[in-house]
């Protein structure tokens, strides 16, 4: 796989976005996943879940209580401080009260293989696909196919942002930001489309569902940090925007402080389920690539 470095995220940013992430995650993908897990030929005594690029462990805090039965979470990240924090904060009980245990693995999360996933029940990640390359996503799909492991990959950007009140410069910032996200071969807003094709080529049934941030006055601290990063990335890609963008950002920050700004940031969650012998891929969903995003 390509050795593109996954960006490092400050714990403060990850903490700030956790509430919006939790509200946005697509619960409609849990039913098909639970059905698939219940139909495994050799289920084993516990679920073994690999959390790739775990950050502070927000996926575990959201998902572990929504799955029943004993679970063993293996947390992967390059940052040892984040691994320690995630391990401490992972829930110790599943939805039915069963025990949850935790292990950590530090390393390059873009080098996952079927051997790494041997015995895994599930691979999961948040906000990861869009900072990978096409080759890395194909390698991820191949690793899941080789291990017979499903994947739940959440909160990938899709390149659509809506601000209210709208301004003419919004579209320029969106365009420049999306181009920045595609720098150096990264997939950015194309990630879900590329990943859907990659997992399908590797024999999985794929479904996507929307996981949208809806930010208002109650999320003003997150909105401020998101605005600064969003406009900053756009200007990094297109420096000619900088002068006008500075004025734009100050105006948007003032609207946010006054409780007048609403922001919708579109993401998508993806569920890929390998074929199982003797039964459908899931209940209540299509048997081939499909869904909404």
- Indicate whether 243 belongs to any domain: yes
CA 140 → CA 55, 104, 109, 125, 195, distances in Å?
A: 19, 19, 10, 11, 9
Give the structural domain span for 214.
11-276
Q: Does residue 201 belong to any structural domain of this protein?
A: yes
217 lies in some domain: yes
Evaluate whether residue 271 is within a structural domain: yes
Buried b (16+ CB within 10 A) or exposed e, 202-220: bebbbbbbebbbebeeebb
Residue 181 in domain: yes
Domain count, the chain: 1
Angle at the Cα of 235 from the Cα atoms of 234 and 237, rounded to 5 degrees: 70
CATH code assigned at 102: 3.40.50.150
Element (H, E) at 145: helix 134-147
Report the distance separating Cα 228 and Cα 196, nearest Å: 31
Task: For residue 56, give the DSSP letter.
Answer: T
Question: Does 281 reside within a domain?
Answer: no
Helix/strand/coil (H/E/C) assignment for every residue in 123-134: EEEECCHHHCEH
- Cα angle value 188/131/163 (rounded, 5°): 45
Give bridge partners of residue 164 from the DSSP assignment. 262
Query: Can you give the pTM of this predicted structure?
Result: 0.91
Does residue 70 sit within a domain?
Answer: yes
Per-residue pLDDT tens digits of the chain, which is 293 residues long: 344 444 557 889 999 999 999 999 999 999 999 999 998 877 778 999 999 999 999 999 999 999 999 999 999 999 999 999 999 999 999 999 999 999 999 987 777 899 999 999 999 999 999 999 999 999 999 999 999 999 999 999 999 999 999 999 999 999 999 999 999 999 999 999 999 999 999 999 999 999 999 999 999 999 999 999 999 999 999 999 999 999 999 999 999 999 999 999 999 999 999 986 544 444 444 333 443 33
Coarse DSSP helix, strand, coil percentages of the chain, rounded to the nearest 5 percent: 45, 25, 30
**3-state SS assignment for residue 23:** helix
- Does 102 map to a domain? yes
């Amino acid at each position: 796989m390509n050795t593109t470095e996954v960006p490092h995220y400050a714990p403060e940013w990850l903490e700030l976005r956790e509430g919006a992430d939790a509200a946005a995650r697509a619960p409609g993908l849990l039913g098909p996943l639970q059905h698939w897990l219940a139909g495994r030929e050799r289920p084993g005594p516990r679920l073994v879940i690999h959390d790739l690029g775990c950050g502070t462990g927000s996926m575990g805090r959201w998902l572990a209580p929504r799955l029943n039965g004993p679970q063993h979470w293996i947390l992967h990240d390059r940052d040892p401080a984040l691994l320690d924090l995630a391990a401490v904060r992972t829930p110790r009980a599943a939805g039915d009260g069963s025990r949850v245990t935790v292990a950590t693995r530090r390393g390059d999360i873009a080098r996952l293989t079927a051997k790494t996933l041997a015995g895994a029940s599930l691979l999961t990640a948040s906000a990861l696909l869009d900072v990978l390359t096409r080759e890395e996503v194909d390698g991820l799909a191949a690793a899941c196919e080789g291990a017979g492991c499903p994947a739940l990959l959440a909160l990938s950007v899709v390149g659509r942002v809506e601000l209210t009140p709208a301004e003419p410069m919004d579209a320029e910032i969106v365009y420049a930001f999306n181009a920045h996200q595609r720098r150096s071969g990264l997939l950015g807003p194309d990630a879900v489309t590329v990943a859907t094709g990659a997992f399908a080529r590797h024999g999985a049934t794929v479904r996507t569902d929307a996981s949208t941030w809806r930010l208002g006055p109650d999320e003003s601290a997150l909105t401020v940090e998101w605005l600064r990063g969003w406009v900053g990335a756009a200007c990094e890609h297109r420096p000619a925007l900088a002068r006008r963008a500075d004025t734009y950002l100050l105006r948007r920050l003032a609207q946010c402080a006054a409780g007048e700004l609403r922001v919708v940031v579109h993401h998508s969650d993806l569920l890929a389920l390998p074929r199982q012998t003797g039964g459908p891929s899931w209940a209540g969903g299509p048997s081939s690539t499909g869904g909404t995003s």
